[in-house]
Amino acid sequence: MSELRLMAVHAHPDDESSKGAATTARYAAEGHRVLVVTLTGGERGDILNPAMDRPDVRERVAAVRRQEMARAAEILGVEHSWLGFLDSGLPEGDPLPPVPEGSFAAIPLEGPLERLVTLVRAFRPHVMTTYDENGGYPHPDHIRCHEVSVAAYEAAADHLRFPGAGDPWSVAKLYYNHGFLRERMQLLQDEFARNGRTGPFASWLERWDPEHDHMARRVTTRIECADYFPQRDDALRAHATQIDPTGHFFTAPLEWQRRLWPTEEFELARSRVPVSLPETDLFEGVQ
């Protein structure tokens, strides 16, 4: 097939750079069309980089995050589209308060679904990526991203659903991102120890019960993409409101990451084409 197309669906700007970014950069560099879809504007995200926590940034955080997203897409070499919904924020408290009225996680599914189906039918991806049923982590927008993406995978192929949203299109495969794996963190933490350094993953690993490490068992597909780790990191740094350049994301040297864990991981969740697992290519089986 001369042109292959990948659509990566994410909840907020910066998610595309922390989940599967080296994979999207690789496919784009190889000449495939890659479209990142961002469902919300990230308006309610905290400013996590102290250097950016300034009044002039806080007053226009939505516009700043749009600029950051444009720069990250340029670095990754991908196309980008906003779906245009309002960030729900991350509720805190016990019990958790409801998400804000009118936000992405609060509105009925049908509205976001129709918009994403319209985009799927226009772009006609062979493969989609999104989050699992837990959202990767239980942010309400990540969980809703999963719900909308899975529903769009099904509805885009159904001529009875949203007949005004373009001609039906059957996406061949749907994947879930699985980026935060215990084994990867342990390998890197051990490498820090061997080099007499304090690693950033100790507290996470202490809380992580290996007997309940279900995510590792769900991985079906590993994409070799170590050559694109620098682009991944540069794209992440482009989201300067969200990423502290001195933080743990950038602590492990790239040489260690390339040597110890040169892949990004995915779970094949749906397929309309025959597959043979495990895989090393998201487009495997697509003709």
Query: In this predicted model, what pLDDT tens digit does every residue of 170-208 receive, in sequence order?
Result: 999 999 999 889 999 999 999 999 999 999 999 889 888
In a domain, 92, yes or no: yes
**Is a pLDDT exceeding 80 seen at residue 277?**
yes
What CATH number is attached to the domain comprising 263?
A: 3.40.50.10320
Task: Tell me whether residue 139 is annotated as binding.
Answer: no
Q: Which of 63-72, 84-93, 104-113, 267-276 has the lowest mean pLDDT?
A: 84-93
Q: Is the pLDDT of residue 71 over 70?
A: yes
Q: Residue 225 domain-assigned?
A: yes
- The total of structural domains in the chain comes to 2
Instruction: Over range 9-38, report the average pLDDT.
Output: 98
Among 26-40, 57-71, 202-216, 265-279, name the one with the lowest average pLDDT. 202-216
Do residues 236 and 194 share a domain? no
Tell me if 79 is assigned to some domain: yes
**Gap between the Cα atoms of 237 and 68, Å rounded:** 9
On the 0-12 / 13-18 / 19+ scale of CB atoms within 10 A, 201 is buried
pLDDT at 252 over 90: yes
Q: Is residue 276 part of a domain?
A: no
248 in the same domain as 174: yes
Overall average pLDDT of the 258-280 stretch: 98
User: Can you tell me the distance from the alpha carbon of 219 to that of 175, in angstroms, rounded to the nearest whole number?
Assistant: 10
25 Cβ contact list (under 8 Å, min separation 6): 76, 77, 78, 225, 228, 231, 232, 235
Calculate the average pLDDT of the chain.
94
Among 15-24, 70-79, 133-142, 181-190, the minimum mean pLDDT is found in 133-142
Closest CA to 234 of 71, 13, 66, 81: 71
Same domain flag for 93 and 113: yes
Is residue 105 domain-resident?
yes
| Residue 159 labeled ligand binder | no
Assess whether pLDDT exceeds 80 at residue 96. no
**Statement to judge: residues 132 and 260 lie in one domain:** yes
Containing structural domain, residue 199:
182-218
pLDDT band at 1 (very low <50, low <70, confident <90, very high): low
Co-location of 94 and 233 in the same domain: yes
The share of the chain scoring above pLDDT 90, in percent, equals 80
Ligand-binding site membership of 146 (annotated): no
Tokens linked to 227: 């050559």
Q: Judge if 75 and 194 occupy the same domain.
A: no
pTM of the entire predicted model: 0.95
Q: Are residues 127 and 193 in the same domain?
A: no
Tens digits of residue pLDDT in 134-176: 987 789 999 999 999 999 999 999 999 999 999 999 999 999 9
pLDDT for the residue numbered 231: 98
Question: What is the pLDDT confidence band of residue 216, given thresholds at 50, 70 and 90?
Answer: confident
Q: Is residue 279 part of a domain?
A: no
Report whether pLDDT(224) > 60: yes
The residues that bridge with 129 in the sheet, in sequence order, are 8, 175
With a cut of 80, say whether residue 93 has pLDDT above it. no
